[in-house]
Amino acid sequence: MPDSIPPTFGQPWPARDATRITAVRTIVTAPEGTPLVVVRVDTNVDGLYGLGCATFTQRWHSVVSYVEDHLERLVVGRYPGDIEDLTRLARLSSYWRDGAVANNALSGLDMALWDIAGKRAGLPVHELVGGKVRAAADTYIHAGGASVEETIEQARGFIEAGWRNIRLQVGQPGIGSYGAAGVGGGYPTSPYPDGWRVEEYLRNTPRLFESAREALGSEVELLHDAHSRLTAKQAVTLARSLEPYGLFFLEDVLGPEDWGQLPGVRELSPVPIAVGELATSATTAAQLILGGGVDFIRCHISAIGGFTPARKLATLAEFSGVKTAWHAPGDTSPIGAAANVALDLTSPAFGIQEGHVYNDATYEVFPGTLPIVDGWIRANETPGWGIGIDEKAAARYPAGLSGHDAWAAGVRSPDGALRYP
């Protein structure tokens, strides 16, 4: 063990062997333009290291600092097999715990330790935690256009490519709606002409799904994301207006500030409710499940601390009649996507997996990135996550500041008031 490691940070009990963590660092890259943060944990065994996802796109500089200035000194010199103790130490040591920055940093460490565990055992992570209960995870993909016709045309293309589950979003005057472009200057006499008007949204969305069912038929599953912009009353109004179209789920009807009202919304909603993307602790996510406010829990697992707490949530969901639908857009790295799939394939509580089609540059940077074939995603059968990183390729796609801040600053009502982005 290095002499520079204080005794309080040392190995607290005898380890099974002499394998030790020697370094922890971050790699940031943006092959699709979206900053992705990867944590690499090295050991004193030649060639043995682990990779984890720590992607908080909007505040990635803070995650990098948290990992390299705080977490590394806690775990260097430790045995990497003590995953639960190491991740609890990383979480509890700051005293004020949780939050998106801290938990993404913790997630990078947690997933990297699971990657190391799989490599040491010569097994994929899904076998370390009990093995498969299904062969592949069914995914959904996003279709969104400025008009109903554009959205439906996109959806047709996805159905032809093999998807059975499509999230539909459509634009509206002004800034548009979440996931779909709008028409600039939609409210020309308003203080903010490019605003988002909830009344317009509540009228347009049922029209979208009425047209989609007529055009796409009843076999495809349809989903929709309100992106936290509604009140509880508006959420119930929307859910009831969508009942005739048989949605698979309605996502994020309320912001986290209003999650206490979710049980009442769910009770009155004829459509399944999916929430959890904005949870920044496993405790909060567990309360969503136990409080009876959700049919699907859909955390961004790096924002709640990684694979270890997500496994616990999946078990809690299993015994609470809730399904999983882990968050996985373009701001989840391929390593985080692999962790999602390991959960999907090993949990009886699996409901559906959000899908993202990575570009060629991402496959170059992250060898082993999981493809989606005919709407299905399967795990790698190689040890650990089965995902690598080519650091030379990663350096060719440097990350800048996320564009999310500028976009969020423009999500306003026609009167100029900020809305949830």
Residues of the chain with CATH 3.30.390.10: 7-123
Local confidence band at 344 (pLDDT 50, 70, 90 cut-offs)? very high
Alpha helices in 255-294 (DSSP H): 262-268, 282-290
Q: What value does the mean pLDDT take over residues 82-108?
A: 96
Angle of the 198-216 helix axis to the 232-242 helix axis, nearest 10: 20
Q: What value does the mean pLDDT take over residues 274-287?
A: 97
Q: What percent of the chain has pLDDT over 90?
A: 95
CA 285 to chain centre: 13
Local confidence band at 8 (pLDDT 50, 70, 90 cut-offs)? low
Distances (CA, A) of 71 to 38, 52, 92, 190, 311: 14, 14, 11, 49, 22
Local confidence band at 2 (pLDDT 50, 70, 90 cut-offs)? very low
Tell me, what's the pLDDT at 4?
Answer: 52
Tell me, what's the pLDDT at 5?
Answer: 47
Residue tagged 């999983």 (tokens): 324
Tell me, what's the pLDDT at 309?
Answer: 98
Q: What angle do CA 211, 151, 181 make, to 5 degrees?
A: 125
Tell me, what's the pLDDT at 10?
Answer: 84
Task: Write phi, then psi, for 283 (nearest 5 degrees).
Answer: -65, -45
Active site residues: 178, 227
What is the C-alpha to C-alpha distance for residues 88 and 144, in angstroms, rounded to an integer? 41
CB 103 within 8 A of CB 318: no
How many residues belong to the chain?
421
Task: Write phi, then psi, for 326 (nearest 5 degrees).
Answer: -60, 140
What is the C-alpha to C-alpha distance for residues 387 and 115, in angstroms, rounded to an integer? 9
Helix (H) or strand (E) holding 395: helix 391-395
Q: What value does the mean pLDDT take over residues 293-310?
A: 98
CB 289 within 8 A of CB 259: no
Q: Which pLDDT tens digit goes with each residue over 370-395?
A: 999 999 999 999 999 999 999 999 99
Adjacent-strand bridge partners of 225: 251
Residues of the chain with CATH 3.20.20.120: 128-382
Q: Which pLDDT tens digit goes with each residue over 15-55?
A: 999 999 999 999 999 999 999 999 999 999 999 999 999 99
What is the C-alpha to C-alpha distance for residues 172 and 175, in angstroms, rounded to an integer? 7
Is residue 296 helix, strand or coil? strand
What is the C-alpha to C-alpha distance for residues 189 and 143, in angstroms, rounded to an integer? 31
CB 105 within 8 A of CB 66: yes
What is the C-alpha to C-alpha distance for residues 293 and 279, in angstroms, rounded to an integer? 14
Q: Which top CATH class is 7-123?
A: alpha beta
Is residue 153 helix, strand or coil? helix
Provide the CATH number for the domain formed by 128-382 in this structure: 3.20.20.120
Task: Write phi, then psi, for 100 (nearest 5 degrees).
Answer: -65, -40
Gyration radius of the chain's alpha carbons: 22
